[in-house]
Amino acid sequence: MPVHSSTIICSTEGFIDVHDLTSDVRKIISESHVANGTVIVFVPGSTAGITTIEFERGAIEDLKKAIERIAPQDIHYAHNVHWNDGNGFAHVRAALLGPSLAIPLKDGNLRLGTWQQIVLIDFDNRPRSREIHVQIIGE
Amino acid sequence: MPVHSSTIICSTEGFIDVHDLTSDVRKIISESHVANGTVIVFVPGSTAGITTIEFERGAIEDLKKAIERIAPQDIHYAHNVHWNDGNGFAHVRAALLGPSLAIPLKDGNLRLGTWQQIVLIDFDNRPRSREIHVQIIGE
Amino acid sequence: MPVHSSTIICSTEGFIDVHDLTSDVRKIISESHVANGTVIVFVPGSTAGITTIEFERGAIEDLKKAIERIAPQDIHYAHNVHWNDGNGFAHVRAALLGPSLAIPLKDGNLRLGTWQQIVLIDFDNRPRSREIHVQIIGE
């Protein structure tokens, strides 16, 4: 049973920038010729995260507001005192959301809901070029 | 190393309805005859999530209150303006919790704690029939 | 494709005690001789969780404050009424963070960012000896 690894490159703006990765992940699966197995989507770095959401303007706006309630941008962050890069809020948000997602693949189909998209969320305070690793183990 | 896929059907009431899936997952593992590997539990859809908790009335009540603090039901949601289905809070809650869980399987035993159960949480605002996919890769 | 399973033992103090597991996980990978595959890090129990963060004093202090906002220690918890062990806050925090992490392994390298560490967070209200399971599937 082989292991397939591929990488998506994504240019982000930061400040809870949400990108739909679903079609990129589906393309990698198609190229892997794996029909049944597990797909891992993982973002390296400590200021971004991976989850799923209905990729719809309103839901994304609502998610941003919830994240702002949990870890507001304008409060004191000890990280900023030590490192002076001003992105303490991004570290907290990323740690709470998590960098990883595991999705089953069955008969060539990713087991997502119809209105459920795989998203990268960049929490940093500046534009970044992100690498997102997609790994498929299966047959 | 084969891939085993199975599906649990679960009737839910919504509004943070928490269901213990542990015995269903254990039954699927037993039927798979896999002793060592990884078990993925995944719920399709953008208004439900998967995690673990001690499945005890008090802890579940406490979890519901924390979720209500993070994404209250009675505030404005932009999703509701666009889609008019009134479940904006459910989308935010599901995106924050995540739809997926990976658990090691060793010598036929799921590596859960004694008081740790696998749960589906349905955040939607109406009853649903949910499919939860359980995938086992191992030997 | 073999399955490698190993366990890290970690002494914790509780009350959002954060431990860097990265070097232990890397040692287990090295001993497994697996170069490409998926690494699952899982903590059994319902009062601890696994995530990644930049393991830096300030960021950890900031994360602790965010968790205290989400599920404060000094409010009423129904779990405490039923069980009298006083750790209701720990159950809520652990359920929200989740016990599991899946990380791709490529050419012998864990696909982490430079400043991204794998951490155990113990939310309980007393010292514990924690077992963290590391499972590698690959080739």
Helices (H), chain C: 22-32, 57-70, 78-83, 88-97
Range C52-81 average pLDDT = 97
For chain C, the residues whose C-beta falls within 8 A of a C-beta of chain A are 1, 36-38, 51-54, 56-59, 61-63, 66, 69-70, 96-98, 101-104, 106, 111-113, 115-117, 119, 137-139
pTM of structure: 0.98
Contact B115 C80 (CB under 8 A): no
Contact B5 A36 (CB under 8 A): yes
Q: In what order do the strands lie in the sheet with C37-42?
A: C3-12, C128-138, C37-42, C100-106, C109-110
User: How far B46 CA sits from the closest chain A CA (Å)?
Assistant: 5
Per residue of chain B (139 residues), what is the pLDDT tens digit? Answer: 789 999 999 999 999 999 999 999 999 999 999 999 999 999 999 999 999 999 999 999 999 999 999 999 999 999 999 888 899 999 999 999 999 999 999 999 999 999 999 999 999 999 999 999 999 999 9
Q: Across all residues in chain C, what is the average pLDDT?
A: 97
Among C61, C106, C111, the residue to mutate for chain A (most A Cβ within 10 A): C111
Q: For residues C116 and C15, is the Cβ–Cβ distance under 8 A?
A: no
Q: What are the extents of the domains in chain A?
A: 3-138
Q: Does domain A3-138 sit in CATH 2.60.120.460?
A: yes
Range A79-98 average pLDDT = 94
Backbone angles phi, psi at B75, to 5 degrees: -100, 175
What helix, strand, coil percent values describe chain B, rounded to 5? 30, 35, 35
What residues of C are in contact with residue B111 (Cβ under 8 Å)? 42, 44, 133
Chain A's closest residue to B89, CA to CA, is A62
For residue A36, the one-letter residue type is N
Contact B82 A115 (CB under 8 A): no
What residues of B are in contact with residue C102 (Cβ under 8 Å)? 102
- Which pLDDT score is estimated for A1? 77
Three-class DSSP labels, A41-87: EECCCCCEEEEEECCCHHHHHHHHHHHHHHCCCCCCCHHHHHHCCCC
pLDDT digits (tens, 9 = 90+) for A27-76: 999 999 999 999 999 999 999 999 999 999 999 999 999 999 999 999 99
What residues of A are in contact with residue C103 (Cβ under 8 Å)? 40, 42, 100
- Which pLDDT score is estimated for A27? 98
Least confident segment among A69-73, B19-23, C82-86, C91-95: C82-86
- pLDDT class of C83 with cuts at 50, 70, 90: confident
User: How far A102 CA sits from the closest chain C CA (Å)?
Assistant: 7
Q: Across all residues in chain A, what is the average pLDDT?
A: 97
Question: Tokens 């049944």, residue?
Answer: A36
